C-alpha cells in the first residue's frame, strides 16, 4: 500500500503550451488595461486606480453626462480568455446630458452592455456580473401608439436602475428600466428583470421572480 499518491507527469509540450497561454493572458490584460485607461481619459470617464481589463471595451459618453468607475475594476470581455462564449466587447454608453453611470469599487464583469439614455444606472460595490448581460434605463422606443416608435425623442419613459452591493448576476441576464436589485441578491442566468428584487434572495425566470430567500442560517 502506497502512502503517497504518485504525482501525474505532464508532457513538456503541454506545460509549454499552458504557460504560453498564461503569458499571453497577462500580456493581453496589460495592453487592454492601458488602452482602456487611455480611452477613459480621452472620453472623460472618471476611473479610480486598480483597473484590470482583458479584452475590448467600448466607451461613448454624451457631452455633459457622467460615467464614473470605482477602484479595482475587473473586466474580462475576450472570448479567448473567458471560459464560456461571450460577446467580443463590453460597452458603456450615455445618450443625454442627464444620464449617469456609476460603478462602485471592486466590481467585476464579463462583456456586458450598460446603456443609460437619460437616467442613472448605479452598480454597487463588490457586485459580479457574468457575460452577455444587458442593463438599460429605457425601452428606447415607446410601445404604443405605433407611429411614436419612429418619432419619439423625449425621456419621460426612462427610469433609473439601481443594483446594490454584493449582487451576483448570471450569464445572459437582461435588466430593464426602473429596477432596483437589493444587496446580496442573485439573479439566475437567462433571467429578464423588469421589477424590483429585494435583498438577500435568488430570483430567476422571465420575468424574474424570487424563488429562494437567503438567511444567516443558510438558504
Q: Are strands 209-213 and 161-163 parallel, antiparallel or unpaired?
A: unpaired
d(CA 96, CA 45): 15
Question: Reduced to 3 states, what is the DSSP secondary structure of residue 169?
Answer: strand
The active-site residue, picked from 141, 195, 209, 212, is: 141
Q: Are 77 and 86 in contact (CB under 8 A)?
A: yes
| Residue 163 CA, distance from chain mean position | 11
**Total residues belonging to the chain:** 219
10 is catalytic: no
Q: Are 87 and 77 in contact (CB under 8 A)?
A: yes
Which residue's C-alpha cell is 423625449?
154
* 150: DSSP letter: H
Report, as residue numbers or ranges, the catalytic residues.
Answer: 141
Amino acid at each position: 500500500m502506497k502512502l503517497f499518491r504518485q504525482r501525474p507527469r505532464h508532457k513538456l509540450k503541454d506545460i509549454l503550451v499552458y504557460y504560453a497561454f498564461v503569458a499571453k493572458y497577462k500580456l493581453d490584460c496589460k495592453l487592454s488595461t492601458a488602452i482602456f485607461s487611455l480611452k477613459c481619459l480621452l472620453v472623460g470617464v472618471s476611473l479610480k486606480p486598480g483597473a484590470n481589463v482583458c479584452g475590448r471595451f467600448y466607451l461613448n459618453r454624451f457631452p455633459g453626462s457622467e460615467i464614473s468607475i470605482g477602484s479595482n475594476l475587473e473586466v474580462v470581455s475576450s472570448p479567448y480568455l473567458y471560459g464560456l462564449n461571450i460577446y467580443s466587447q463590453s460597452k458603456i454608453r450615455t445618450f443625454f446630458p442627464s444620464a449617469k453611470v456609476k460603478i462602485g469599487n471592486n466590481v467585476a464583469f464579463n462583456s456586458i452592455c450598460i446603456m443609460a439614455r437619460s437616467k442613472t444606472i448605479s452598480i454597487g460595490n463588490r457586485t459580479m456580473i457574468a457575460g452577455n448581460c444587458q442593463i438599460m434605463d429605457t425601452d428606447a422606443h415607446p410601445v404604443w401608439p405605433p407611429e411614436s416608435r419612429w418619432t419619439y425623442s423625449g425621456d419621460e419613459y426612462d427610469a433609473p436602475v439601481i443594483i446594490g452591493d454584493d449582487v451576483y448576476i448570471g450569464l445572459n441576464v437582461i435588466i430593464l428600466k426602473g429596477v432596483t436589485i437589493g444587496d446580496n441578491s442573485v439573479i439566475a442566468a437567462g433571467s429578464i428583470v423588469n421589477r424590483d428584487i429585494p435583498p438577500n434572495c435568488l430570483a430567476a425566470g422571465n420575468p424574474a421572480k424570487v424563488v429562494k430567500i437567503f438567511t444567516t442560517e443558510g438558504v
